[in-house]
Amino acid sequence: MLDLTPQFLKGTSSEITFVRENYLTKSDKQIAKHLGCHARNILFLRLALGLIKGRGKKIYDSAERQEYVRANWQKQSDEEMAEYLNCSNFIVRRLRIKQGLKRPRGCKVLEITKRQEYVRANWQKQSDEEIAEYLKCKIGTIQRLRYGQGLKRSKNIVDAEELGYIQANWQKQNDEELAKHLNCPISHIRSLRYGQGLKRPTRAKAKERKLISKKDFERILYVEGKNYSQIAKAYKVSRERISQIAASYGLRKKYFSNFSQADFNFVKQNWRHQSDKELAEHLKCSICAVQKFRYSQGLKRWRSLEKQEYIRANWQQQSDEEMAKDLKCSVGRVKSLRYKLGIKRSSNLERLEYVRANWQKQSDEEMAIHLKSNAGYIKILRYMQGIKRNMNANELEYVRDNWQKQNDNEIARHLGCSLGHAKRLRYKQGIKRRKQGRKIVNTEEQEHIRANWQKQGDAELAKHLKCSIYEVRIIRYKQGLKRPSGPRIDNRAEKEEYVLANWQKQSDEEMAKYLKCTIWIVQKLRYAQELKRKRGHSKVPS
């Protein structure tokens, strides 16, 4: 047996009679919507009154309802029939489907009847495309409406007038114009033409259509060195069309595999004096074929002769970075060209001499700016020569005077040294920085924490004492002052009284809105007083 508490059976006599009269014809949701309560409350009320709906019983499949649905399903919607029969939409839909009365998707009842009438009146005069355009729907919808009414178009019946018109005008008009005049599809016109043996002439042959003259084709093919795909893209035709034109002119590009011995000898003799384009124009082949032959024989060109001359003239006066900037290329490209020319720089003798002469006067950063390098590389050059910076008395004194006013980065910037060197200067004098916001707490501050830890949070105490929250928390733990888990609740006693008085009348959301707190706090206050709700019952029907 279900444990039904009295708070779920507070329905009035009128509500109970409404449930008794309508529980068979309406669902719990509809009854709850009418009474303004939750559907689960209606379920508990029915069970308490012994009103149980039988599963599988066809209490709604009466002969009268079936006849009404069969007579009115095209005139009325499911909602209208359900309202008239005093039942749900699901029951009406089930009665329709059971009798095979299906509606097409996306259409209302009145629209279906109007479309059926229009199709029945005009299907012989107009094509499906024209009817669909007029009714603003798909062609498949029109076809389904025709098939549903048994209106099928005959394919074998041919009108003599249509045949006469096509025989008289097929040479003057195209198939689209004929189909538009006869109000039929283009495929129908084409089938009638083929049946009468009326075939249109095909396009002219490829040899008769010359898009490019022979002179221009030779220039594009041999001088400019374009292939068939590039020419086809330029003239907006297919590659096969270009190959047909080339065959008509007798112009064929040679490939590397079709070279003769005379062609090989010509390339070997003239590849230094002529460019690949000139060689390809003479041999009537592609530039790619000439390049492949050169690569197979190891005949490689220097692509950057001007760059090589520039590097040979300026490598001693300029660095690789400067030459790369002037030549508009990468530093690696400049280095590779230097190595190919056999030009190697000395092992940084000038930089070593400069570092040795100026390491006491300048910092590593200043020397790096002068030598156009980075500070790490200057440090390596110093270590290579055994030069290490010692801690100067002036630096130690500056750190001792300013470590509280400035941070390590500012000290390093002022002294012209690295951040690690500035830290080492501090560590040598035993100067250590405390963590940010950390302070020593004396007895007065401990008493202040002990007196106010329940009224104020850790953040407010830390702000008042000008220390970190972590330090306040440590002092609390040492004195055994532990806060309860969860958020701090202001005016707890007043809120507990309000929740105790109103938890049955109001929901948690309404109480939280009134108390200006979260729902979670209201729930916590209820659980602390053992005021628990049952699932699914936020309110009782009034």
Rounded CA gap, 517 and 65, in Å? 55
236 and 311 assigned to the same domain: no
What SS3 string covers 134-170? HHCCCHHHHHHHHHHCCCCCCCCCCCHHHHHHHHHHC
Residue 147 in domain: no
Backbone angles phi, psi at 254, to 5 degrees: -80, 145
266 and 283 assigned to the same domain: yes
Residue 500 in domain: yes
**pLDDT (average), residues 330-355:** 78
In sequence order, the β-bridge partners of residue 285 are 254
Q: Say what the pLDDT of residue 7 is.
A: 46
Domain boundary among 151, 168, 196: 196
Quick: pLDDT tens for 373-403.
777 788 888 888 888 777 777 888 888 888 8
**pLDDT (average), residues 307-313:** 82
Domain boundary among 267, 297, 327: 297
258 and 226 assigned to the same domain: yes
225 and 292 assigned to the same domain: yes
Backbone angles phi, psi at 403, to 5 degrees: -70, -25
Q: Which helix (H) or strand (E) holds 283?
A: helix 276-283
The helix/strand/coil state of 285 is: strand
Rounded CA gap, 281 and 294, in Å? 16
CB 525 within 8 A of CB 499: yes
226 and 280 assigned to the same domain: yes
Which structure tokens are listed for 183?
């109000």
Q: Which helix (H) or strand (E) holds 358?
A: helix 349-358
Which structure tokens are listed for 400?
């001792």
Residue 89 in domain: no
Residue 42 in domain: yes
- Which residues are CB-neighbours of 203 under 8 A, at least 6 positions away? none
CB 419 within 8 A of CB 363: no
pLDDT interval class at 119 (50, 70, 90): confident
Q: Say what the pLDDT of residue 4 is.
A: 41
189 and 225 assigned to the same domain: no
- Fill in the DSSP letter of residue 256: G
229 and 289 assigned to the same domain: yes
Q: Say what the pLDDT of residue 204 is.
A: 44
Residue 143 in domain: no
293 and 316 assigned to the same domain: no
207 pLDDT more than 60: no
pLDDT interval class at 518 (50, 70, 90): confident
- Residue entry with tokens 């006869």: 182
Domain extent, residue 309, equals 305-340
Domain boundary among 15, 32, 49: 49
Residue 477 in domain: no
Q: Say what the pLDDT of residue 109 is.
A: 52
The helix/strand/coil state of 254 is: strand
State percent of the chain over pLDDT 70: 84
Looking at per-residue pLDDT, the higher value among 60 and 492 belongs to: 492
Which structure tokens are listed for 80?
């209208």
CB 69 within 8 A of CB 96: yes
CB atoms within 10 A of CB 538: 15
176 pLDDT more than 80: yes
This prediction has a pTM of 0.22
Residue 495 in domain: yes
310 and 276 assigned to the same domain: no
What SS3 string covers 401-428? HHCCCCCHHHHHHHHCCCHHHHHHHHHH
237 and 187 assigned to the same domain: no
CA 535 to chain centre: 40
Residue 241 in domain: yes
Apex 421 CA angle, 415 and 426, nearest 5 = 90
Backbone angles phi, psi at 176, to 5 degrees: -65, -45
5 pLDDT more than 50: no
CB 145 within 8 A of CB 74: no
CB-side neighbour CA atoms (13 Å) of 537: 22
Backbone angles phi, psi at 527, to 5 degrees: -65, -35
pLDDT interval class at 68 (50, 70, 90): confident
pLDDT interval class at 302 (50, 70, 90): low
Under the phi-then-psi rule, with left for phi > 0, alpha for psi from -120 to 50, and beta for the rest, what region is 328?
Answer: left
183 and 240 assigned to the same domain: no
Which structure tokens are listed for 433?
């920085």
Quick: pLDDT tens for 237-259.
888 888 888 888 877 665 656 67
288 and 232 assigned to the same domain: yes
**Count of domains for the chain:** 5
Q: Which long-range contacts (CB under 8 A, 24 or more apart) does 332-335 make?
A: none
Helices (H), 359-507: 364-371, 375-384, 393-402, 408-415, 419-428, 443-452, 458-465, 469-479, 492-502
State the greatest distance between any 2 C-alpha atoms of the chain, in Å, as a whole number: 120
Cα Rg of the chain, angstroms = 48
Helices (H), 185-304: 186-196, 214-218, 228-235, 239-249, 261-270, 276-283, 287-297
Looking at per-residue pLDDT, the higher value among 154 and 282 belongs to: 282
- Out of 53-57, 69-73, 269-273, 488-492, pick the least confident: 53-57
Closest by CA position to 257, among listed 293, 225, 308: 293
